[in-house]
Amino acid sequence: MSEFGLEDLPIRDDLRGRTPYGAPQLDVPVALNTNENPYPPSPRLAEALARAVADVAVGLNRYPDRDAVRLRSALADYLGHGLDVRGVWAANGSNEILQQVLQVFGGQGRTAMGFEPSYSMHPVITGVTGTRWVAERRGDDFSIDPAEARAAVLRHRPDVVFLTSPNNPTGTALPLETIEAVAEVAPGVVVVDEAYAEFRREGTPSALSLLPRHPRLIVSRTMSKAFAMAGARLGYLAAHPAVVDAIQLVRLPYHLSAVTQAVAVTALDFADELLGTVKQLREERDALVAWLRERGFSVADSDANFVLFGVFPDRGEVWRRMLDQGVLIREVGPSGWLRVSVGTPEENAAFRAALSNVTGH
Ligand code: PMP
């Protein structure tokens, strides 16, 4: 047997010692760890998806539409805000969108900045594209103070700023005022990661409305969460058409398969049905927040489909004992806190029962 391993390969020095990113994929009765939508496609949608795939199957000897025009038009229609195909771009999950953005606007000698705790793939993608990462802190309530954010941008002059709203793992949404404060002074691009946008509470606006005033603002979205299509891998951005033109410099030709495009277009045809689950998930989320607070836990306000709660002296122990009871949650975020995704009413009941057993609350 050869002892040859990763460390023997001539990988880039800056990748040495890194571990691949990813939540554990365990076979458990109740998986509430990756912020998926727990509702699978209806039989009617599953049938429509199968038909759409069958339609493209006979043409799979040909490369797909490299510009994904039909899909991008459908996404623009879904977003509204006067967007059209020129201001929308799609890729394999919003992670690939963010990677493309970093490939264009980051790289050697450049800097990306974020406000932590936030989505830990932001520094990872920053790092693998050779970009330097600068982390600023969110406040104790996980908000971002507009004046402090503006000062931080002026201090670091980053090429890319990440603002996650609603934020993962805290659930915190940002007021437009904060996004504008940053966009007004940022010398590079500002990426508002809105992966959880559809779960926002009433009255919390999307950064899409700021696009006409800020041509270097990029709003990234995904079909993985509210659209219940995590397995299809479809993320997208909305921005000034010049940004979409810039992405063309780094995107691989035919990056989005004909199958993915057909599946995503079909899912968008069923937007009403798919987004119908969002209302229920928001209600379940609010109920979960209230239940946790009644039991004396600290709970971050959430505009997403997950809830960050704590504070535990040994969160790893709580996480393990929840898992022993078949409930997988996520050990992520500031020390002492845990994150649970909102599931079906039955899954949420299982979570509550397990947490009560583990903590005695
Ligand atoms: N942004 C945020 C804030 C996320 O939480 C996630 C998924 N966990 C993503 C982007 C990436 O999602 P996807 O690649 O499935 O679109």
Altogether, the residues listed in the chain come to a count of 361
Tens-place pLDDT, residues 134-151: 999 999 999 999 999 999
Verify that 32 and 54 share a domain, yes or no. no
Task: Using the predicted structure, report yes or no on whether residue 221 has a pLDDT greater than 90.
Answer: yes
Strand partners, 30: 327
Helices 258-269 and 43-57 pack at an angle, to 10 degrees, of: 150
Between CA 189 and CA 207 the distance in angstroms is 14
Mean pLDDT on 295-324 = 97
Verify that 355 and 345 share a domain, yes or no. yes
Evaluate whether 160 touches 189 at the Cβ level (below 8 Å): yes
Q: How much distance in Å is there from the Cα of 9 to the middle of ligand 1?
A: 30
Verify that 180 and 131 share a domain, yes or no. yes
Biggest distance spanned by C-alpha atoms of the chain? 62
Strand partners, 160: 112, 189
Interface ipTM above 0.90: yes
pLDDT top residue among 23 and 74? 74
Q: Which atom of ligand 1 is nearest to the CA of 34?
A: 8
Q: Which of 217, 237, 270 is the last residue of a domain?
A: 270
- Split into its structural domains, the chain has a count of 2
Between CA 320 and CA 252 the distance in angstroms is 41
Ligand 1 is surrounded, with C-beta below 6 A, by 35, 93-95, 119, 164, 168, 193, 195, 222, 224, 230, 235
Confidence band of 1 (pLDDT split at 50, 70, 90)? low
At 253, list the tokens. 């030709």
Taking CA atoms only, the protein residue closest to ligand 1 atom 7 is 195
Q: Is 10 inside a domain boundary? A: no
Verify that 246 and 125 share a domain, yes or no. yes
Verify that 327 and 281 share a domain, yes or no. yes
Verify that 230 and 280 share a domain, yes or no. no
**67 phi and psi, to 5 degrees?**
-95, 0
Looking at the whole model, is its pTM more than 0.90?
yes
Q: Which of 220, 246, 270 is the last residue of a domain?
A: 270
Evaluate whether 344 touches 39 at the Cβ level (below 8 Å): yes
Tens-place pLDDT, residues 52-89: 999 999 999 999 999 999 999 999 999 999 999 999 99
Verify that 48 and 170 share a domain, yes or no. yes
Ligand 1 probe mutation, 89, 170, 224, 227, most atoms within 8 A of CB:
224
Domain that holds residue 174: 43-270
Q: Which of 220, 253, 270 is the last residue of a domain?
A: 270
Tens-place pLDDT, residues 150-161: 999 999 999 999
Residue among 278, 280, 324, 284 nearest 307 (CA): 284
Task: Using the predicted structure, report yes or no on whether residue 2 has a pLDDT greater than 90.
Answer: no
Q: How much distance in Å is there from the Cα of 120 to the middle of ligand 1?
A: 10
Task: Using the predicted structure, report yes or no on whether residue 240 has a pLDDT greater than 70.
Answer: yes
Tens-place pLDDT, residues 89-116: 999 999 999 999 999 999 999 999 999 9
Tens-place pLDDT, residues 326-343: 999 999 999 999 999 999
Chain-centre distance of CA 177, in angstroms?
A: 22
Q: How much distance in Å is there from the Cα of 318 to the middle of ligand 1?
A: 25
Q: Is 252 inside a domain boundary? A: yes
At 248, list the tokens. 């063309």
Verify that 52 and 201 share a domain, yes or no. yes
Q: Is 72 inside a domain boundary? A: yes
CATH code for the domain in which residue 276 is found: 3.90.1150.10
Q: How much distance in Å is there from the Cα of 226 to the middle of ligand 1?
A: 11
Verify that 100 and 72 share a domain, yes or no. yes
Evaluate whether 162 touches 118 at the Cβ level (below 8 Å): yes
Percent of the residues in the chain that have a pLDDT greater than 90, as a whole number: 96
